Amino acid sequence: MAEGDLLDFGGGGATVLSVPGHTEGSIAVLLPEHRTLFTGDTVARLAEGPVPGVFNLDRARTAAAFLRLSALAADEGVETVCFGHGEPLTSGGGETLAQSAARYS
């Protein structure tokens, strides 16, 4: 899978997003029709909220990918965010990611 690939599932398709940093081939998946984002290991949800994932091959690229996903989620009006680690956000996910990203920009 590569950046921009469209997957035929989710009743409206899903877009693959390349977010290297955790590993070279890390991806996230956006289901725009369902306002849902799967971040993979690029973003984790800890007690204090969403943070760039931990145990990364390239911390700077992970931080950049985190900021990209946060901006995209806010722009797309994402409500649900599912993380590789931590409980999902089931409402206001884009806004919550954007608020968290402000600490890293």
Contact criterion met (CB below 8 Å) for 81 and 69: no
pLDDT in tens, 39-75: 999 999 998 899 998 888 899 999 999 999 999 999 9
pLDDT in tens, 65-94: 999 999 999 999 999 999 999 999 999 999
CATH of residue 34's domain is: 3.60.15.10
Q: For residue 1, is it within any domain?
A: no
Task: Domain of residue 48: give its range.
Answer: 6-101
Domain count, the chain: 1
pLDDT at 105 over 90: no
pLDDT at 11 over 90: no
